[in-house]
């Protein structure tokens, strides 16, 4: 399988000052693709998943399936996943270390084998990211959990329907529970669940497979099915990639048409974009025009669980706020350490003060090109956006982080007029 040049620490070089103009197609969602790919573990047979983005994290999910005995064929975004021969329930340590979302194997492997052996996922740069809620659910579902040399060994001898309430809203915690319960006969209830579009997309897939899942507010009723079937599914568009491109259009005084967006999923982003001086024209339910309407204005943002403002868009809006006229306040309520981009934006002349979970951004007239470092996926995106408007040249190192979650972003931006080039590690 062709994989993108992933393990080099490539750099991007950006010449600022160009307006983004034209139209671009948004890729399928990373955070919808991952749970849907791993949901194939629940069945024996061949499932087909359409519009899967070519991303490092997607290849890691494929690696997991293949390490367990599955087989994946890919032809331009269409994945044929055969899980007939999956026979292992131990997830390789080196894979989990690469991608925290590997924990989404727990639900399907416990459903299929009644056991799973998985390394304790590390935290990452944006926070400790514990999985206590995942474990609490599996315990409630009758699991015996042992921690042995940094691995979790979970066994569920007898499957039974459960009623469980999450102490806090967790996206992958909700997804793990749904993946497991989809094959448990009887009626289960999950309370205080996450309702992100990516969770709802997974629910659509599980219902196609034969489960009966019904959501009202933050409560899900699940009628599991012991005889789930393979499925065909097209993943939803990536609302965070869409949001990132929309911020780029507004920041650069551009005018961009985005295809393959789901307008219903981005209401919270559009609202803040218009507040900041962006113009929005809904051309259809999956096509939208975004442009600079007026002078950039400061915005106050508080990240929250969906349908609140997405934490995955916080860094991108901070880049825009750094050149807006006035003071913006950005509060990060979801992760305890998601301001790494601040130190890098300061190198470009941004005036940002961090007080605990709040960043106070005083807009400056312009940013200047500099050499900066990616530290995590969305921070990388914010530095690219800053580079698009900065005076002169910006070099962004360690683009590996970006390749985890954005499909060929430099090609998309280049097509819209940006002067952006990828430098492979050998010359950077
Ligand atoms: C998902 O991560 C996304 N990843 C993240 O996207 C996204 O930022 C996050 O949800 C919030 O929307 C995928 O879907 C693969 P959480 P997840 O469990 O599920 C705490 C990106 O950039 N928590 O909803 O790991 C946790 O520490 C990535 O695409 C517990 O304390 O996030 C965090 O502070 C980054 N105990 C908060 O809850 C638990 O058991 C929300 O975490 C679980 C979570």
Which of 58, 6, 68 lies closest to 37 in space, CA to CA?
Answer: 58
pLDDT digits (tens, 9 = 90+) for 38-54: 999 999 999 999 999 99
pLDDT score at 6: 46
- pTM for this one? 0.96
Q: Which atom of ligand 1 is the closest one to the Cα of 57?
A: 15
pLDDT at 428 over 50: no
| Residue 426 confidence (pLDDT) above 60 | no
Strands 219-224, 186-191: pairing is antiparallel
Question: Is 124 among the residues known to form the active site?
Answer: yes
**Alpha carbon of 173 to ligand 1 centroid (Å):** 8
Question: What pLDDT score was predicted for residue 77?
Answer: 79
268 pLDDT band, cuts 50/70/90, is very high
Dihedral of CA atoms 363, 365, 371, 375 in degrees, nearest 10, equals 20
Q: Give 303 Cα–ligand 1 centroid separation in angstroms.
A: 13
Q: Which of 6, 15, 114, 124 is catalytic?
A: 124
- Greatest CA span in the chain, whole angstroms? 64
Whether 167 is in the pocket of ligand 1, judged by its Cβ within 6 Å, is: no
Q: What is the pLDDT, as a whole number, of residue 5?
A: 45
pLDDT of 2 higher than 60? no
| Average pLDDT of the chain, as a whole number | 95
Three-state SS letters, 48-93: EEECCCCCHHHHHHHHHHHHHCCEEEEECCEEEEECCCCCCCECCH
Ligand 1 close to Cβ of residue 177 (< 6 A): no
Which numbered atom of ligand 1 lies nearest the CA of 127? 27
Residue 8 is predicted with a pLDDT of 56
Q: Are 146 and 119 in contact (CB under 8 A)?
A: no
Mean pLDDT of 114-130: 86
Residue to substitute in 102, 168, 341 for testing ligand 1 pocket (most ligand atoms within 8 angstroms of CB): 168
Q: What is the SS3 string spanning 364-395?
A: CCCCECCEEECCCHHHHHHHHHHHHHCECEEE
User: What would the two tokens of residue 186 be?
Assistant: 């009887």
Question: Looking at ligand 1, which atom is closest to the CA of residue 136?
Answer: 40
Output the CA 129–ligand 1 centroid distance in Å.
Answer: 7
pLDDT tens sequence across 354-408:
999 999 999 999 999 999 999 999 999 999 999 999 999 999 999 999 999 999 9
pLDDT at 413: 98
Q: Place 129 in a pLDDT band, splitting at 50, 70 and 90.
A: confident
Cα of 65 to ligand 1 centre, how many Å? 22
CA 100 – ligand 1 centroid, Å:
10
Helix residue ranges per DSSP H, 156-260: 171-181, 197-209, 239-251
Helix (H) or strand (E) holding 135: helix 132-140
**Is the C-beta atom of 244 inside 6 A of ligand 1?**
no
Read off the pLDDT of residues 88-108 as tens digits, 9 standing for 90 and up.
999 999 888 889 999 999 999
How confident is the model at residue 3, as a pLDDT? 46
């Amino acid at each position: 399988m062709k994989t993108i040049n992933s393990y080099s620490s490539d750099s991007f070089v950006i010449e600022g000052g160009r307006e983004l103009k034209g139209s671009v197609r948004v890729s399928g969602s990373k955070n919808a693709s991952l749970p849907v790919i791993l949901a194939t573990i629940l069945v024996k047979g061949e499932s087909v998943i359409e519009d899967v983005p070519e991303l490092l994290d997607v290849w890691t999910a494929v690696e997991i399936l293949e390490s367990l005995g599955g087989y994946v064929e890919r032809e331009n975004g269409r994945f044929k996943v055969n899980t007939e021969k999956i026979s292992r329930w131990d997830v390789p340590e080196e894979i989990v270390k690469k991608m925290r979302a590997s924990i989404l194997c727990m639900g399907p492997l416990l459903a299929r084998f009644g056991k799973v052996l998985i390394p304790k996922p590390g935290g990452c740069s944006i926070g400790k990211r514990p999985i206590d809620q995942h474990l609490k659910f599996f315990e409630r579902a009758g699991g015996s959990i042992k921690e042995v040399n940094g691995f979790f060994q979970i066994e569920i001898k007898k499957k039974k329907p459960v009623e469980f309430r999450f102490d806090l809203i967790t996206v992958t915690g909700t997804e793990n529970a749904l993946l497991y319960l989809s094959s448990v006969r009887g009626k289960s209830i999950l309370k205080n669940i996450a309702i992100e579009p990516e969770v709802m997309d997974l629910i659509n897939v599980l219902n196609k497979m034969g489960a009966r899942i019904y959501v009202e507010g933050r409560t899900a009723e699940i009628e599991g099915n012991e005889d789930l079937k393979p499925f065909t599914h097209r993943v939803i568009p990536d609302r965070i990639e869409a949001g990132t491109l929309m911020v780029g259009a507004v920041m650069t005084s551009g005018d961009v048409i985005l295809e393959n967006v789901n307008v219903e999923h981005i209401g919270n982003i559009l609202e803040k974009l218009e507040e900041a001086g962006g113009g929005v024209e809904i051309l259809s339910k999956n096509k939208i025009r975004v442009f600079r309407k007026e002078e950039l204005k400061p915005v106050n943002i508080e990240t929250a669980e969906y349908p609140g403002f997405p934490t995955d868009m916080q860094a991108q809006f901070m880049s825009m706020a750094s050149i807006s006229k006035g003071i913006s306040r950005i509060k990060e309520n979801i992760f305890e350490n998601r301001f790494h981009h601040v130190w890098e934006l300061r190198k470009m002349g941004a005036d940002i003060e961090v007080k605990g979970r709040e960043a106070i951004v005083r807009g400056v007239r312009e940013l200047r090109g500099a050499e900066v470092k990616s530290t995590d996926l969305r921070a990388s995106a914010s530095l690219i956006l800053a580079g698009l408007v900065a005076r002169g040249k910006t070099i962004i190192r360690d683009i590996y982080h970006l390749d985890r979650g954005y499909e060929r972003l430099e090609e998309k931006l280049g097509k819209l007029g940006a002067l952006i080039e990828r430098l492979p590690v050998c010359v950077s």
